[in-house]
Amino acid sequence: MLASLLERFEGDRIAVAGSIQDVRFRDLANAGRSGIRARILGRSVAVMARDPLRALECLICADGSASRLLLLSPTLDLKTARDLVNRVGCDIALVGAPAPTGGLGAIPHITIPDYEQEPSNIEGAARAERVETRWLLTTSGTTGAPKVVDHSLDSLTCSVNAGSSTGAGVRWGLLYDLARFAGLQVVLQSVLSGAVLLVPPQESPLGEQIDFLGSRGCTHLSATPTLWRKILMLGGERLVALRQITLGGEIADSQVLRALKSAFPQARVTHIFASTEAGYGFSVSDGEQGFPSSFLTRPPSGVELKVLNGRLCVRNRRVSPCYVGEDWKLADEDGFIDTGDMVLKRGNRFVFLGRSNGAISVGGDKVLPEVVEQVILAHPDVLMARVFGTKNPIVGALVSADVVLKPAVGDLPGVRAALIRFCQERLPRHQVPAILRIVEDLPNLESGKLARS
């Protein structure tokens, strides 16, 4: 269980460095206080905390004692959070101080307070009864209500390199929400390898978060391609110590990979394929987009892959094949989950085309926004792009694009015309943006992914 895994590291070693306080491994290990563990033993626990450090303490407390632990993102509105608590049938809540107003439902709440007020109780934690805890994560629910996916610490850490020497000198930056799969991967990788987890001030804009990470010597950072493009725009040079760059959550195109290699020549650049439903899939560090077709026959991480109807399907035997609280199965009868991501074979590689449910129908022809985005992104003046469908009375929908240019690119009408020509040379007619606007910025969601609706 988490608490005992943390005991492998010297107590004095810093585990988490935040903007207000630093926390050592001994303090984290002690978060598993025997009094709280006894109260949640065998129960279905809802966990919610705004502060990642408090959230981590809740997880350390719950893992090994709760039968199920439901991780709720602090960004969820309370009604959705309460619906999820009901759906899962949680009978107790562990919340980080300050507790959410009105609570998570008519269940007892335990508030995890500051370290300073609680005495340590190491022997208590060691003697407490241990339970195999199921970790329940929620999808971000871009279409409809969030779904709940059943994991274990095992399925969440299969990609984690947990040797006690791997963490030496490593400082992981957290830009993700800890309650979501990507954020949890970063946190678990950091604490289970004895590294330092850097937690920037939560409500601050990205620039200040990067300043914080840079000033604390961040060496490892994971973010979406959209966030990485923004970091490059803000000037990544503050991240002087960066040596591991990880991308996930969206297609990592050649442009962003090259731009990162160029801005951070000393860093290894890796892009990861994973989802809440499928868990960790695979990672690619050869600097190219997509993945080698050999992954289909010799999957590097043991998570099996296949391509059906142009869509990537994943079999991760550690993840439960149903959504919790629903009868609808996630996987087919062989245990493969359809990720909904369209892929195309090019030579000895597969490239990602985009989400099949995001397709635009132009007079009946399907267009994947990400395909058009990748073409636009290939233009040297372009920093970011968002492609979407706009309603049209003649053909149903047309392709539109909002584009952010690199700084110091002038002659906007000229650039617009040049971009359209650039697309015409590379795309079938119906995929060329009918409307192309130059915009100042493209907002992203809490998850770091480009906001598409």
Partner 1 sequence: MRERIAAVFARVFREMAEGEPPQLTEETVLLNTGLDSLGFAVLIARLEEEVGFDPFAASAEAYYPRTFGDLADFYERNRPR
CA-wise closest residue to 161 among 270, 253, 62: 270
Rounded to the nearest whole angstrom, what is the least distance from the CB of residue 398 to partner 1 in the complex? 5
Q: Residue 230: left if φ>0, alpha if ψ -120 to 50, beta else—which one? A: alpha
Measured from the CB atom, the residue of 141 and 363 that comes closer to partner 1 is 363
Dihedral of alpha carbons 294, 300, 302, 303, sign? negative
* Cβ neighbours of 239 (radius 10 Å): 23
Q: Which residues make Cβ contacts (< 8 Å) with residue 51, sequence separation at least 6? A: 96, 202
Looking at 429, 440, 443, 453, which residue binds partner 1 (CB under 8 A)?
Answer: 429
Alpha carbon distances (Å) from 425 to 75, 321, 418, 422, 428 = 43, 44, 11, 5, 8
Measured from the CB atom, the residue of 298 and 429 that comes closer to partner 1 is 429
Looking at 102, 265, 347, 393, which residue binds partner 1 (CB under 8 A)?
Answer: 393
Rounded to the nearest whole angstrom, what is the least distance from the CB of residue 432 to partner 1 in the complex? 9
Measured from the CB atom, the residue of 252 and 398 that comes closer to partner 1 is 398
Looking at 21, 390, 406, 451, which residue binds partner 1 (CB under 8 A)?
Answer: 390
Contact call for residues 335 and 322 (beta carbons, < 8 A) = no
Which among 186-194, 220-228, 250-258, 393-401 is the span making contact with partner 1, rule CB under 8 A? 393-401
Regarding 398 and contact with partner 1 (CB under 8 A), the answer is yes
Which among 23-31, 108-116, 202-210, 430-438 is the span making contact with partner 1, rule CB under 8 A? 430-438
Dihedral of alpha carbons 426, 430, 431, 436, sign? positive
> Which x/- pattern, by CB under 8 A, does the window 79-118 give for partner 1?
----------------------------------------
Looking at 78, 162, 233, 395, which residue binds partner 1 (CB under 8 A)?
Answer: 395
DSSP code of residue 412: H
| SS (HEC) of 84-96 | HHHHHCCCEEEEE
Q: Hey, which residues between 340 and 379 contact partner 1 (CB under 8 A)?
A: 362-363
Contact call for residues 212 and 234 (beta carbons, < 8 A) = no
Count the site residues for partner 1 by CB under 8 A: 14
Rounded to the nearest whole angstrom, what is the least distance from the CB of residue 372 to partner 1 in the complex? 15
Rounded to the nearest whole angstrom, what is the least distance from the CB of residue 395 to partner 1 in the complex? 4
Measured from the CB atom, the residue of 335 and 389 that comes closer to partner 1 is 389
Q: Which residues make Cβ contacts (< 8 Å) with residue 171, sequence separation at least 6? A: 17, 195, 196, 198, 216, 217, 218, 219, 220, 241
Phi, psi of 163 (to 5 degrees): -65, 140
Rounded to the nearest whole angstrom, what is the least distance from the CB of residue 413 to partner 1 in the complex? 12
Which among 102-110, 210-218, 234-242, 427-435 is the span making contact with partner 1, rule CB under 8 A? 427-435
Omega within 30 of 0 (cis) for the link into 200: no
Which among 3-11, 168-176, 299-307, 392-400 is the span making contact with partner 1, rule CB under 8 A? 392-400
Measured from the CB atom, the residue of 156 and 403 that comes closer to partner 1 is 403
CA-wise closest residue to 242 among 273, 264, 272: 264
Q: Which residues bind partner 1 (CB under 8 A)?
A: 362-363, 390, 392-395, 398, 420, 424, 429-430, 434-435
